[in-house]
Chain A
Amino acid sequence: MHKEFLMGNEAIAFGALAAGVDLVAGYPGTPSSEVLETIAKHRNENTYVEWSVNEKAAMEVAAGAAYTGARALVTMKQVGLNVAADPLMSLEYVGVKGGMVVLVADDPGPISSQTEQDTRTFAQFSKLPCFDPSSAEEAYEMIGEAFELSEKYGTPVFLRPTTRVCHGYASVKIKDKDEYYINKPEGFVKDSSRWVIFPRLSYANHGRIEERNEQLSDVFSEYDKNIIIPGESGCRKGIAAGGISFTYALEAMKDTGLLKTFKVSTPFPFPEKKALEFLSGLDEVLCIEELDPVIERALTYVCGKYGLDVKIYGKLSHHIQAAGENTIDSVRAAINKLMGREEENYSPDTADMPPLPVRPPVLCAGCPHRASFYAVKQAMKGRKTIFCGDIGCYTLGNAKPLDMVDTCLCMGAGLGIAQGVGHIEPDTVCFAFVGDSTFFASAITGVVNAVYNRADMTLIVLDNSTTAMTGHQPHPGTGKTMMGEVVSKISIEAVLRGIGVTEVKTVDPLDLDAAVKCVKDTADLPGVKAIIFKSPCIAITKPAGKIHIDKDKCIGCGKCIREIGCPALSLEGKKAVADCSLCTGCGLCSKLCPTAAINGGEQNV
């Protein structure tokens, strides 16, 4: 054992390696991505790691490995679980042979997600056991325990950290390489009565699953991470908490005094006997958790089932906020309210704080997406249009002044929405924007649907040769794998042509005139058309240079700033200035300048 300062996701990765994980598959998504990346970096030669094309593929790859007796890990963010729900809901009935851990990172806030869904609720829905770590150190231990439980009971098991656990750092005690468990998969053994799902099998296994979960409730009541901390004597009020909220409660109780506390590390199956032990001697319990009121509902159920006269508070009783993250401050306020005490003010008085600068996330200076959006905007000026966006950096195209994202729902949805709008409003020019990684992950079926059903729309593929938003992971179009192999790139253009899209054009968006002309020429053609705007992400390429603004020529009209919203440009007095630490020399601004005051940059050299 040795100590390292690790991010929660790194701790999970090392925990998986120490547990002898044989195969890891996943799809990038904040806050989960670093788990797979860390395993890829530190894996031994027998560990297979891949970024799958999407979460459904990853789940199936991991299931196959677990069928052989291998230990398999699949990683994703919470919305990714929706994509992988189909195989997982059936896998629940079939079960696994080797240990299989489904790591799903939830994102209370949400900080960088579409939804505040709770994987603990999904665990109840899918009847699969769920571990909920409260710290990096605990997550490290839990993933090994999850593998063991999975193998013992032949079921996939959830490990569900949240953002603050995934991205928090701590000094974590981890095993040395020679202490790692080595798994020896038996291999796949043919048995169609076990591996082929049929109604009869599902019926029989459903019964077994319900029995097993009752048994697991008892097992978890003995689990050493489901703990009861005694409170100050005589107090008949208690706290139940799980995940990061448990640590917030501990911090808050340094100020409020320690109450009897139940830490729920396995929200499903709920450790009922342990809960009874906790509830004994209490009149009121405050449940502190994020996302869904899972612990609150479970304790309310236990009280009803056993006829206990204990009041259970939490989100449902409005003692804890329904949405968003908890903080130590919000938890302390809730505990003080439970105790009927005034909340002390710890902060300096900031009532007269001057107005602060607003810093929303923006497309980077030099981002090719800015040029792509601007080209479409220019080409479609004055037309009735809809711009259906998608999930990725390019969602930021919604910000002013570009204002080029009219809808955004989930990965790949822009294609379907553009088709639906087009069928009802034939006079609207319908566009769907999708990134290159998202194209492979979930846009291809949308294109097939559009071609088959004779939709009238233009697909814009924003191809920056990487998965930029989540930290530059490779994908099928990049020609690289997580095993470090160089493979043939899957061509987006060839895929589109193969589906039957006859109008497919590839243009460099930074060549503004050509890009605008291409959109004008293409958008009014009948049927499904596609334009691939191809230009690499500025974070993976060397800058082309810097622009230079001729102060004598600049008339301070501000057009360059007003039109494209590049963070490198600002007005100083009556002149435009460029921040040289940000400018990549993409040259887009130089094309708009009415007095040709901006020089340099890619297209002008």
Chain B
Amino acid sequence: MSENINIILCGVGGQGTVLASKLIAAAAMAKGMNVMSAETIGMAQRGGSVFSHVRIGNDIHSPMIAKGKADLIIGFEPGEAVRMLPYLKKDGQMIVSSRGVMPVTASLSGTGYDPAQMTEWLGKKLNNLMIIDTDKACRELGSAKVMNVLLLGAAVHSGALGLTEEEIAVALRKRLPEKLHELNMQALSYTRNNGQ
């Protein structure tokens, strides 16, 4: 039973959580593992909260993950990572991007929210937290579009994903057009090379 791996990816519509979850699923399936997943569809307009549940293993029945049962949460946005925290198991791993996305409501009411407050709170709660300075990383990589693969790389390097960089890389090469391979490979290995 404990061989199952439960992963939640969360963020804001348009950040690439779906592609990242598909890469995890493809890499796991290529290893002959059983995969189930579920994600936000329909009203997932740009700017709304979105999540993907990905489950890998042979003893899984539901595509949804229960609270307190996720081995790993990859938060593409600090506020959304906090929102999903009830799903993380005790001593589970969280990876979170430090870059906040302001909701429309904050613009309207003039009350912004403070992403740093979110990561700080997570820091107090969790033993296994990796905060990724995605702004800095994307600047160095020269593209904001690879944030999803960057975070996926961090998940690989944390060890909680149960997949290797090469296994994800194979799935990535299959999924993306060749001209994007180089950039995405750099994003995938970024946290390994930059010691985060």
Contacts and interface: CB of A to CB of B under 8 A. Distances in A.
Contact of B108 (A167, A169, A252, A562): A562
Contact of B89 (A250, A346, A365): A346
B113 A355 contact: yes
Contacts of B86: 347-348, 350
A362 B45 CA distance: 7
A296 to B, nearest CB: 21
Interface stretch (B59-67, B153-161, B187-195): B59-67
B38 A168 contact: yes
Contact of A111 (B14, B42, B82): B42
Nearest to B94: A348
A571 B69 contact: no
Contacts of B1: 254
Interface residues of B, number: 57
B82 A359 contact: no
Contact of B43 (A112, A252, A254, A349): A112
Contacts of A357: 79, 102-103, 105-106, 113
A486 interface: no
Interface of B: 1, 12, 14, 25-26, 29, 34-39, 41-49, 59-69, 79, 82-83, 85-90, 102-108, 110, 112-113, 117-118, 121, 125-126, 144
A171 B66 CA distance: 20
Interface stretch (A121-129, A206-214, A326-334): A326-334
Nearest to A169: B37
B47 A570 contact: no
Given A251-B61, A360-B105, A167 B39 contact: yes
A332 B35 contact: no
A353 B121 contact: yes
Nearest to A332: B66
A337 interface: no
A112 B62 contact: no
A363 B89 CA distance: 36
Nearest to A576: B107
B110 A571 contact: yes
A353 B82 contact: yes
Given A248-B64, A356-B82, 10 more contacts: A346-B90, A347-B86, A348-B86, A348-B88, A357-B79, A359-B47, A361-B43, A365-B46, A565-B108, A581-B144
10 contacts: A111-B42, A164-B62, A169-B36, A247-B62, A251-B62, A328-B66, A346-B69, A348-B86, A357-B102, A570-B112
A172 to B, nearest CB: 10
Interface string A556-571: 0010011001110111
Contacts of A348: 68, 85-86, 88, 90, 125-126
A112 B45 CA distance: 12
Nearest to B124: A352
Contacts of B37: 168-170
Interface of A: 3, 5, 30-31, 111-112, 135, 164, 167-171, 244, 247-248, 250-252, 254, 327-329, 332, 345-350, 352-365, 396, 400-401, 470, 558, 561-562, 565-567, 569-571, 581-582
A401 B82 contact: no
B118 A354 contact: yes
Nearest to A34: B41
B103 A244 contact: no
Contact of B26 (A5, A347, A359, A400): A5
A73 B82 CA distance: 43
Contacts of A358: 103, 105
B25 A169 contact: yes
A111 to B, nearest CB: 7
Given A164-B38, A329-B66, A354-B121, A361 B45 contact: yes
**8 shortest A-B CB distances, which residue pairs?**
A346-B68, A168-B63, A328-B66, A247-B62, A570-B107, A347-B68, A247-B61, A250-B61
A458 to B, nearest CB: 28
A329 B65 CA distance: 9
Contacts of B62: 164, 244, 247-248, 250-251, 328
A347 B67 contact: yes
A567 B64 contact: no
Contacts of A561: 107-108
Given A171-B29, A329-B67, A570 B102 contact: yes
Contacts of B113: 355-357
Contacts of A359: 12, 47-49, 103-105
B66 to A, nearest CB: 4
